[in-house]
Amino acid sequence: MSLILSAPGCGHCKALTPTYDEVAATFKNDENCVVAKLDADGFRDVAEGYDITGFPTIKYFPADNKDGEDYERGRELADFVKFLNDKCGTNRLPGGKLNSHAGVVEDMNGLASKFMSEEEARGEVLSEAEGAAEKHEDSQAMYYVKVMKKVLEKGADYVKTEYDRLGRILGGDVSDNKADELTKKQNVLKKFEL
């Protein structure tokens, strides 16, 4: 969790509020990355408990550290987004969309590339990918297997056709969660391009 402690009469706090609100909006779909704002006047005990005397004070609280750590980086939206992506393991862009790393499972990328480039060995690569995906903690690894099966069924053009289809859906009116899901799929499909 990222927390900003501010005071109502603090000019720096007021100046930072719009940026911090954008940070909160950027991470609203990530339940493991909560962004909160606290009025230190209304919650003096919290400010005193962390020995905070200057405002605004920004702290990051990982799940395993109740004392938190002070945020001492830049005050621009991009600075906050980079910091929280690093700390929370997220892949957000300023504004809330996912970046090109979201949904990608690094140790499956080589199998995707091998699958597309070695047409004669696709069955073997699929078997290898199935074994790797079953052991993988990231459920997104199974999407690589699904794509491989579809390519075997429909041909290599499936990758571009599916990528374009997802893009058309994303261009319409979809919820933020659905947009995240489709963006992750598109990112994986890019790993299959020849």
Is 2-88's fold the same as 106-190's?
no
pLDDT tens-digit series, residues 66-86: 999 999 999 999 999 999 999
Class at the top of the CATH hierarchy for domain 106-190: mainly alpha
Residue 130 CA to residue 148 CA, distance in Å, equals: 10
- List the structure tokens of 56: 């605004």
Name, in order, each residue with C-beta under 8 angstroms of 106's C-beta and a sequence gap of 6 or more: none
Residue 60, helix vs strand vs coil? strand
Name, in order, each residue with C-beta under 8 angstroms of 13's C-beta and a sequence gap of 6 or more: 4, 6, 7, 55, 56
Dihedral of alpha carbons 23, 24, 30, 33, sign: positive
Residue 171 CA to residue 160 CA, distance in Å, equals: 16
- List the structure tokens of 31: 């339940």
Q: With a threshold of 0.85, does the pTM exceed it?
A: yes
Residue 83 CA to residue 78 CA, distance in Å, equals: 9
Name, in order, each residue with C-beta under 8 angstroms of 50's C-beta and a sequence gap of 6 or more: 5, 57, 59, 67, 68
- Give me the residues paired with residue 126 across strands: none
Residues 145 and 130 sit within 8 Å (Cβ to Cβ): yes
Digit-by-digit pLDDT tens for the chain (194 residues) are 777 778 888 899 899 999 999 999 999 999 889 999 988 888 888 888 888 888 899 999 998 999 999 999 999 999 999 999 999 999 999 999 999 999 999 999 999 999 999 999 999 999 999 999 999 999 999 999 999 999 999 999 999 999 999 999 999 999 999 999 999 999 999 999 85
Residue 174, helix vs strand vs coil? coil
Multiple choice CATH, 2-88, 3.40.718.10, 3.30.930.10, 3.40.30.10, 3.40.50.920: 3.40.30.10
Name the residue type at position 91.
N
pLDDT tens-digit series, residues 89-106: 999 999 999 999 999 999
Question: What does the domain layout of the chain look like in residue ranges?
Answer: 2-88, 106-190
Name the residue type at position 40.
A
